[in-house]
Structure 1
Amino acid sequence: MTFSLVARSTDGRLHGVVVASKFLAAGALVPAAAAEVGALAAQAHVNLAYRPQGLALLRTGVAAADVVAGLTAADPEREHRQLGVVAATGPGASWTGSACHPWAGGRTGDGWAAQGNILTGPEVVDALADAWLAGSTLPFAERLVAALRAGDEAGGDRRGRQSAGLLVVERGGGYGGGSDVLVDLRVDDHPDPITELGRLLTVHTMLFSRPDPATLLDLSGAVAEEVAALLGALGHPVAGEGPEEALNSWAGLENLEERLVPGRIDPVVLTHLRRVAPHVPAPRSAS
């Protein structure tokens, strides 16, 4: 019912799962991941116990192939299951039971496992794997979605489309640093779920990604003047010596607080401010 990719970033800091299916809310059932531990996708006639049990094994340092072997050996219905696992190090592993609906199968490599069932053919898993391998220059979450899109374009689930999900974990990578869940997005019921998942990831990246220190602009001079004018046009007048207090107030309402840096402004925030404010001519020297 599903095709998925489980993967680890090259530096081992990120683990993630991306999945699509002609099944309601596949993202609620298939993926599981723990930061710097591993990730897995449990699918076909899914055994939900694989998720906590698999992560427990990965936390003890068990290799991906041994996790697959342990979970399936203890499961009398294993021939109806499909499973992909990636550990903190080493190659990924995949299991496809003999009773899974065709086409069903998987491919694995260093730090990744691609698998699917009820697919149009092996070209779907091949496209998943090939796109993952070719996408090394993309940010990790975008790379996962690009691979999923390639699998869909190659044929995907032979019954059609319904849902998609993306889970990415990183130590301290969650909102405000309070969790390890960097991205957790689901499209539960949609005629084009992978396109919608990509749209949600774009919004998530704008709102919640941390700013790149190399691109930050000093909140002074012409930049500060423009920011003050834009904020004033939006009903956030600047009081005192600079626009930082008004900027923080506005950014909080726009859910951009993760991109705030004292004394500076993220170009992503400035671009959004320019987009939503009534037209205010920018000073020539502002970036």
Structure 2
Amino acid sequence: MTFSIVARSADGESWGVAVASKFLAVGSPVPAAVAGVGAIATQADANVAYKGLALSHLDDGATAEVALQRLLEEDDGRDHRQVGIVDVDGSAASHTGGDCLDWAGGVTGDGYAIQGNILTGPEVVEAMEAAWLASGAETSLERRLLAALTAGDEAGGDSRGRQSAALLVVRDGAGYGGNDDIACDLRVDDAASCGGTPIVELERLLSLSELYLTASTDDEKVAITPELEAELESLATGLGHRDFAAWVGTENYEMRVADDGSWIDVRILEIIREAGR
């Protein structure tokens, strides 16, 4: 009922899961990840306890394959389970139980595990792997995972249809304000809310997340000179705000403007100038 990819970035700094299904809120039961530890997707007749157990095994030093074997050995329902795991070093393991509904299967490679069940056919997994490999190491893990998920959907995806999708990526210090490791945690719980295209909606949400919730690179920073500061204050008050800082807080651009007022992201500068016209 689900197809997913679990992966580590080529630089070894990020881990994540992308998943889609004809199942309500698939982002709740399937994915889990911890920075510096690894990631897992548990699906088919999902055993959600696998998430905490697998990450605990990985944190204790087990490889993905060893962690998977421990899960299966302790579970009488293993023949109904499907699991993908990637560990801290990028080693991957995948399991498809013999009682999973057709088409069901998976593939692993350096840094990724791809799996699905009740799919239109093996071409779904094949398309996901091809898209993952084609996306290139220079692409962010978020975008690589989404590209693979999109390819699987376009190849047929879940044979029952589309309902939900999710994207989870972790990286040390990547969370809001740098206070946790959640680089991206996006979910489309029901396709009825987005015209029946949850993966398309997931891509839209990722673009918004990249704008609001990621830190600006040095190339994106524009120094705020006294002249620019005066312009920003004028634009903000002209838009009805107390001052520029109030505008930033109201629009949720805190991650894109320096706390000390020394720089502004070039995109935010363009946004406020456009709004003030």
TM over 0.5: yes
Q: CA deviation at 1:185?
A: 0.8
Match of 1:55 in 2: 55
Q: CA deviation at 1:221?
A: 5.7
In 1, the alpha carbon distance for the partners of 2:273 and 2:106 equals 47
Q: CA deviation at 1:90?
A: 3.9
Q: 8 Å contact 1:7–1:17 — kept in the other structure?
A: yes
- Which amino acid in the other structure matches residue 265 of structure 1? I
SS in 2 for 1:27: coil
Unaligned 5+ residue runs, structure 2? none
TM-score, length-scaled by structure 2 = 0.94
Q: 8 Å contact 1:22–1:159 — kept in the other structure?
A: yes
SS in 2 for 1:36: coil
Further displaced range: 136-145 or 4-13:
136-145
Alignment of 1:120-159 (within 5 A): 120-136=120-136, 137-159=138-160
Q: Does 1:256 align with 2:253?
A: yes
In 1, the alpha carbon distance for the partners of 2:240 and 2:230 equals 15
Match of 1:196 in 2: 201
Alignment of 1:72-151 (within 5 A): 72-136=72-136, 137-151=138-152
Q: CA deviation at 1:247?
A: 2.4
Match of 1:210 in 2: 215
In 1, the alpha carbon distance for the partners of 2:271 and 2:14 equals 28
Q: CA deviation at 1:278?
A: 3.6
Further displaced range: 217-226 or 41-50:
217-226
Q: CA deviation at 1:263?
A: 1.3
The root-mean-square deviation of aligned C-alpha atoms, in Å, is: 1.3
Match of 1:283 in 2: none
Cα distance change, pair 14–90 in 1 and its aligned pair in 2 (3 A): closer
- Which amino acid in the other structure matches residue 159 of structure 2? R
Further displaced range: 132-141 or 47-56:
132-141
Identity of aligned residues (%): 50
Match of 1:285 in 2: none
Further displaced range: 113-122 or 174-183:
174-183
Further displaced range: 62-71 or 37-46:
62-71
In 1, the alpha carbon distance for the partners of 2:90 and 2:213 equals 30
Q: 8 Å contact 1:31–1:167 — kept in the other structure?
A: yes
- Which amino acid in the other structure matches residue 23 of structure 2? F
SS in 2 for 1:12: coil
In 2, the alpha carbon distance for the partners of 1:150 and 1:222 equals 48
Match of 2:244 in 1: 247
Q: Does 1:232 align with 2:229?
A: no
TM-score, length-scaled by structure 1 = 0.91
Q: CA deviation at 1:228?
A: 3.4
Match of 1:243 in 2: none
In 2, the alpha carbon distance for the partners of 1:5 and 1:71 equals 19
Q: CA deviation at 1:164?
A: 0.2
Match of 2:268 in 1: 269
SS in 1 for 2:27: helix
